[in-house]
Structures are given as structure tokens and as C-alpha cells.
């Protein structure tokens, strides 16, 4: 059996840390194109794809984006959404001493680790593709590798923890794929990226 055929038959799951990509990416990008490029790099079609993120108050733009993520190709990337609430923290500005609310994700990292381990325990994948840079996932990744799973890590070169890189069987640098996945803004187009992730819409 050829190596290409073996890779095609490898059950592969993609887990995506939505906040990581929106903060690390230099500009807007297309999740459908990104999925295609990651599948090429992993050598297999994804059997399941997960999007983890946080959301604030519902909005038309955010709802549209979430709906699109769930749609199957060629419309959307067909991802299972795991959305969590944002937690407000009262903080004080070190410069002006004024107080304001800072919103942080609550439960996303735990959710990613839970799904990663749960699917591995259920033998739902042979290979895991993770788009994240958080070194806190290192222990969970070490565990799934002990279970015989291969690990492919995708991220930007300046934002991926070495603690995570050292476990990667395959490393895909999104910097090298950027021209293939970036989305050129169209004048007058509204961006459906949730404001909770810290991105301002294009005008």
C-alpha cells in the first residue's frame, strides 16, 4: 500500500483554538481555505473538525459567522462549534488608575483538552491537528502520544510555545501558508468575526 493511500486512510481530527488564530493572524483569513491547506499538510481529510471560542452578547454578525462555520464545503468549513461564555474581571489601569471590565475566556482550554482526550479514549482518530500556541496543552498532547496518536501542530512562528512544539510529529507554520489562506478585504464588506475576539470589522 502506498504512503499516500495510508495517509488518506488515517483518521484525522482538527481542533481549533479560535481566539488564538484571530489574535495571532496578521489579517483576516478564510477558514475554508485554511482547512484545505491543513488537510494537505496532514495528508488526510479531516473526519471531524472542532472550533472552540468564546462569545459575548449575541449579534447578527457573530450569528452569521457561527452559522457559516457549521456549513459543509463548498459553502463553509463544516466545524462543530464549542462556544463558551466570557467572564468579566474588574481591573485597574496602572497609568490612570481608572477601573474597567476586562473580558476573558472561561472554560475554553478545559473544553479543548476534554475533547482531545475524550476522542482519543474513544479511538476516534489516529492523528490530531491542533491550531493553537498554548503550552498549557502540552501534558494532554503528551498523553495522547502515549496512546499511539500522532500530533500535528499548526501555528504562527512567533506565537507557539516551545513546550508544545517539542511534541509535534509534524509542524505546519501558518506563516508559510498565509498567502493561500488570507482574505483580501472588499470595500464595503462587513466582517463577521466576533467582536469578543478583539478584531474590529473592516470598512
* Buried/exposed 66-95: b ≥16 CB within 10 Å, e otherwise: beebeeeeeebbbbeebbbebeeeeeeeee
* pTM of the predicted structure, to 2 decimals: 0.80
pLDDT over 90 (residue 47) = yes
pLDDT over 70 (residue 48) = yes
C-alpha cell at 7: 495517509
Q: What is the CATH number of domain 3-197?
A: 3.40.50.1010
The Cα 193–Cα 196 span in angstroms is: 9
Tell me the domain boundaries of the chain: 3-197
> What pLDDT is stored for residue 5 in this prediction?
41
pLDDT over 90 (residue 168) = yes
pLDDT tens, position by position, 74-125: 999 999 999 987 555 555 667 776 655 444 556 789 999 999 999 999 999 9
Amino acid at each position: 500500500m502506498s504512503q499516500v493511500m495510508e495517509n488518506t486512510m488515517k483518521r484525522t481530527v482538527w481542533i481549533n483554538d479560535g481566539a488564538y488564530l484571530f489574535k495571532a493572524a496578521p489579517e483576516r483569513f478564510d477558514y475554508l481555505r485554511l482547512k484545505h491547506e491543513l488537510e494537505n499538510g496532514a495528508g488526510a481529510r479531516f473526519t471531524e473538525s472542532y472550533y472552540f471560542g468564546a462569545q459575548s452578547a449575541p449579534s447578527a454578525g457573530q450569528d452569521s459567522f457561527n452559522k457559516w462555520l457549521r456549513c459543509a464545503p463548498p459553502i463553509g468549513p463544516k466545524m462543530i462549534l464549542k462556544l463558551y461564555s466570557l467572564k468579566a474581571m474588574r481591573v485597574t489601569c496602572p497609568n490612570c488608575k481608572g477601573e474597567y471590565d476586562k473580558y476573558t475566556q472561561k472554560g475554553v482550554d478545559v473544553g479543548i483538552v476534554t475533547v482531545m482526550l475524550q476522542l482519543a479514549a474513544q479511538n476516534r482518530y489516529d492523528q490530531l491537528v491542533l491550531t493553537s500556541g498554548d503550552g498549557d496543552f502540552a501534558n494532554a498532547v503528551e498523553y495522547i502520544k502515549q496512546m499511539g496518536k500522532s500530533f500535528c501542530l499548526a501555528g504562527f512562528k512567533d506565537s507557539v510555545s516551545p513546550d508544545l512544539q517539542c511534541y509535534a510529529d509534524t509542524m505546519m507554520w501558518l506563516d508559510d501558508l498565509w498567502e493561500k489562506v488570507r482574505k483580501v478585504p472588499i470595500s464595503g464588506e462587513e466582517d463577521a468575526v466576533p467582536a469578543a475576539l478583539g478584531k474590529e470589522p473592516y470598512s
